[in-house]
Structure 1
C-alpha cells in the first residue's frame, strides 16, 4: 500500500504533515516552575503533540464532516451503526467511552513529532530550524510506513539533514547568506544543503511555510532545544473579580503555546487483526473483524474517497484554549499509491 522505504516491509497506513495555523496548547496540566500550564514535550525537551490529543481531534472532525446525525442531543459523538459515514468514524478511530461494547480502532494514530520550528531572527525576521535529531525521528516514522510521491523527496532531504555534523555557532541550510541570526545569536552557515528544492512539497502548506525553501536552517542537537525555546509563546493571564476588578484568588497564571507555523509529521498505522463491530456496517463483514489486507484496503479506499473531496487536506482543533483562538491545525495526508 506504500512504497518500501527501508530494508523491512512498510506498515499499511498514511503519512501526515501538520501545520499550526494558530498557536497550539497541547497541555499537560499544571506544573511547577515559571510556566503554570506548559505544553507537551518529548524527553529531549522539544514541544510535540501526544497521539491521544491527535486521535480525539481527528475522530471529532470525521464526525463533523458526516453531519449532525453522528452526534447525540448533548453534542457527543454517536457511533451510529445505521449510517455508513458515522460507522466509518467509529470503525477507524474506535468506540466512545460510554459505549456498551468495546470497539478497537483500526487506525493507530502516532504522535505529532516536530519537524521545522519557526523562530525569531534578527537577520531574516523568522527562520525555520530543525536538527539532525528531529530529522532522524521523522525519518524513522516515514521508514516504518513507507513513502510515495513527494514524500520521497522529503525523506531524502531528512536523510541529508541527519548526516550534518555541526558545532556550536554553526548551521547548514537553505539560506543564501553566510551568516544568520537565531534571535540575536549569530550563526555561521557552514554548508548550503543541496536539495532544498525538495521542500517545495512542504511549502505547499502555505502560510509561514510558503517561504521555507529560503528560510530553513539546521542547527546542532546541542543547541536545538535552546533555540526552540526562543520561538515558544508564553502568555500571562488573569481572572478578575467582577465586583472589585481585582485579581481573583488563584486567578493569575502563565500559559505556553507552540507557535503558529510549526510543522509536524505523523502517521496513521493500520494493524491486523482488529475487531470492531462498526466496521461491518462499512465493509460488509458480518463479524466486524478486519482480518486481512483486502478488508483493510476496502476501509482505506472509503477513507480516501472522503479525503479526495477536500484535496487530502482537512482542519482540526487540538489541545486547549479553543475559545481564545488556539489549536487550529491543518493536516495534509499522503494517500497510498494508486489512491492519490
Structure 2
C-alpha cells in the first residue's frame, strides 16, 4: 500500500518544543533531528493531526455524540485508541519526522532567500523512495565550503553573497528554482518568485542556526505589572520554512473498532462500529492537509503551518 508525502510550510514562527533543556543555548529549544537540524518530530505531527481530526468528537476516551460514532470510529481506526486503551490495536498509519528542506535566510541583497543543501534534498529523496512516492528533484550544482550557488544574480554583489551575515563566494553555475508545492504557495503569498541558494553541507548548520529566532519572555504580576517569572528564552523556526514528511500506510485496515460512549447509570457504554470501505491513509491525508497548529504558543500567534 503506497504512502503519502507531505510538505509542511510554516506560515508563522513555530515552536515544536522539547521542553526545558539545561544543556541548550536557550531555555526552550525547538526539536532537532539526528544531525542537529530543526525538525518536527512524528509524535508532534501525529498529535496535531489527530487533534484536528477529533474536532470536539471526544471527551477523554468517550465519543460524546452517539450520532457521530461513525466519525469517532474512523479516528480510532486511523490513529489508534486513546492511550488508556492503546493495547487493543495499533494505528493504521505511521508518521515520519518532518525533515528540513529549505530555510529562509537574511540576504544583504533581496531581503531574504531560501537556503538548501545536498543533505536536505537527500532527506527528501530518502522519504520518496521509502514511501514509494515519485518526487522530481533537480540536480544541485557542486559548491565547496564558503561558496554558494544562486538562482539569481540579484542576491549578490561583485560575486559575493552575504547570507545571514556570512560572506559566500558565488560560483558560476546557477541554483535551480525549486518548482514544488510549498514554493508555489509562497509565491502566491508574497506575489514574487522566491530566490534559492545552495550551500555546502559544511556551511549549512551555521546558516540554519542563524535563521532561528530567539525570543525572551517574562510573566508579569497582574497587580503591579512587574516581573513575576523570567526572563526565559524561547527558540522559533521562522515563517516560510519548508519541511518534508509523510505517512506509511501499513495495511492494518480494521473492519470494526470499539467506540466508547459516555457511561449510562455508571455502567460501561460501548459499541462495536463497522467500517465499510474505509481507507485510513486517505482519511489521514484528508485531515492533515490544510492549516494546522503545531507545537506550543498558539495563543500568541505562533505555530501555524499549512500541510500540502
* C-alpha distance in 1 between matches for 2:190 and 2:209: 23
Matches within 5 A, 1:77-156: 78=63, 83-99=69-85, 102-148=88-134, 152-153=135-136, 156=137
* C-alpha distance in 2 between matches for 1:208 and 1:189: 28
Matches within 5 A, 1:251-290: 251-273=230-252, 277-278=256-257, 281=273, 283-284=275-276
* C-alpha distance in 1 between matches for 2:281 and 2:189: 29
Once the two structures are superposed, residues 189-223 of structure 1 have per-residue CA deviations (whole angstroms, 9 ceiling, x without a partner) of 21444752x52533222368767854111111111
Matches within 5 A, 1:305-320: 306=286, 313-320=289-296
Matched residue, 1:71? 58
2:212 to 209, 232, 253: 232
Cα pair distance change 1:23/1:303, threshold 3 Å: closer
Once the two structures are superposed, residues 215-242 of structure 1 have per-residue CA deviations (whole angstroms, 9 ceiling, x without a partner) of 1111111111111112111110011223
The answer to whether the Cα contact below 8 Å between 1:26 and 1:40 also exists between their aligned partners in 2 is yes
Structure 2: gaps spanning 5 or more residues? 259-271
Matches within 5 A, 1:180-329: 180-193=161-174, 195-196=176-177, 198-206=178-186, 214-248=194-228, 250-273=229-252, 277-278=256-257, 281=273, 283-284=275-276, 298-301=279-282, 306=286, 313-329=289-305
* C-alpha distance in 2 between matches for 1:15 and 1:36: 33
Aligned-residue offset at 1:302: 5.3
**3-state SS of the aligned residue for 1:45?**
coil
Computed over aligned residues only, the root mean square deviation of the Cα atoms, in angstroms, reads: 3.0
The answer to which structure has the higher strand fraction is 2
* C-alpha distance in 2 between matches for 1:199 and 1:184: 27
Question: TM-score, structure 1 length as denominator?
Answer: 0.75
Matched residue, 1:49? 40
Cα pair distance change 1:273/1:138, threshold 3 Å: same
2:28 is equivalent to residue 37 of structure 1: yes
The answer to which structure has the higher helix fraction is 1
Cα pair distance change 1:191/1:299, threshold 3 Å: same
Aligned-residue offset at 1:144: 1.1
* C-alpha distance in 2 between matches for 1:281 and 1:137: 39
Aligned length: 289
* C-alpha distance in 2 between matches for 1:303 and 1:26: 21
Aligned-residue offset at 1:116: 0.6
Structure 1: gaps spanning 5 or more residues? 1-10, 285-294, 333-340
